[in-house]
């Protein structure tokens, strides 16, 4: 993982997607690098990534269309 002066922490490692699933639907997630989120299309939720760490709490997720 790498860091730079503009980031608050290390980058998210996309290989983590092999191990992570949506806590609501247990479906696969996709990585949105621009928004720094993991997206569950099945649950219509986006989970934030903070300092390279996915926050997989339903209460922290953002509703998406």
Q: What is the pLDDT of residues 14-62, one digit of tens each?
A: 899 999 999 999 999 999 999 999 999 999 999 999 999 999 999 999 9
* The predicted structure's pLDDT at residue 5: 41
**How many Cα atoms within 13 Å fall on the side-chain side of residue 1?**
14
d(CA 16, CA 4) in angstroms, rounded, equals 21
């Amino acid at each position: 993982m790498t860091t730079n002066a503009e980031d608050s922490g290390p980058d998210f490692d996309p290989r983590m997607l092999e191990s992570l699933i949506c806590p609501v639907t247990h479906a696969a997630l996709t990585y949105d690098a621009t928004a720094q989120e993991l997206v569950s299309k099945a649950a219509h939720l986006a989970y934030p990534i903070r300092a390279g760490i996915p926050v997989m709490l339903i209460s922290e997720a953002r509703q998406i269309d």
